[in-house]
């Protein structure tokens, strides 16, 4: 439901940044948290799902103050999981493993240009 570029508000409703990435597994409907950009050049912060108070179209309000968000840890992309097979594993087993534990790619990684685009879109009210 949440999309990259949505505005992130603190507990009092003041804008503190934008959603950089939604963390979880959409195929299993699991929402772990958000990667939130609080500045144009700063590292994104990780906000656990328990700190999300309200979700409305284009906006996410947190239970945290701006200062609390500033003290959150930097978002670290979780490692992908994959089964390591022995060298003697056959072609069929290797093909089966690639389906069971695929390496996930992120559709849109927010770089500086994407963040600027989202910022202008918010400023223009679109």
pLDDT tens digit at each of 126 positions of the chain = 888 899 999 999 999 999 988 888 777 778 888 999 888 777 889 999 999 999 999 999 999 999 999 888 777 665 454 455 456 666 655 555 554 444 444 444 556 777 777 777 777 765
Determine the structural domain holding residue 88 and report its residue range.
7-123
Residue 2: inside a domain: no
CA 122/CA 116 separation, integer angstroms: 10
Where residue 67 sits, what CATH number does that domain have? 2.30.30.240
CA 1/CA 110 separation, integer angstroms: 18
CA 40/CA 112 separation, integer angstroms: 7
**Number of domains composing the chain:** 1
pLDDT at 104: 43
pLDDT at 72: 86
Residue 105: inside a domain: yes
pLDDT at 74: 77
Cβ atoms of residues 74 and 45 within 8 Å: yes
Cβ atoms of residues 11 and 61 within 8 Å: yes
CA 83/CA 2 separation, integer angstroms: 31
Residue 1: inside a domain: no
Residue 104: inside a domain: yes
What is this structure's pTM? 0.63
């Amino acid at each position: 439901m949440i999309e990259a570029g949505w505005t992130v508000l603190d507990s009092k409703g003041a804008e503190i940044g934008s959603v950089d990435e939604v963390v979880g597994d959409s195929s299993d409907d699991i929402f772990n948290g958000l990667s939130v950009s609080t500045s144009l050049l700063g590292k994104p912060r990780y906000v656990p799902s328990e700190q999300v108070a309200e979700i409305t179209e284009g906006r996410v309000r947190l239970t945290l103050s701006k200062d609390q968000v500033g003290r959150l840890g930097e978002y670290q992309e979780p490692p992908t999981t994959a089964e390591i097979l022995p060298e003697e594993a056959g072609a069929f087993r290797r093909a089966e493993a690639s389906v069971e534990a695929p390496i996930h790619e992120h559709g849109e990684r927010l770089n500086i240009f994407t963040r600027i685009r989202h910022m202008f879109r918010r400023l223009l009210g679109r």
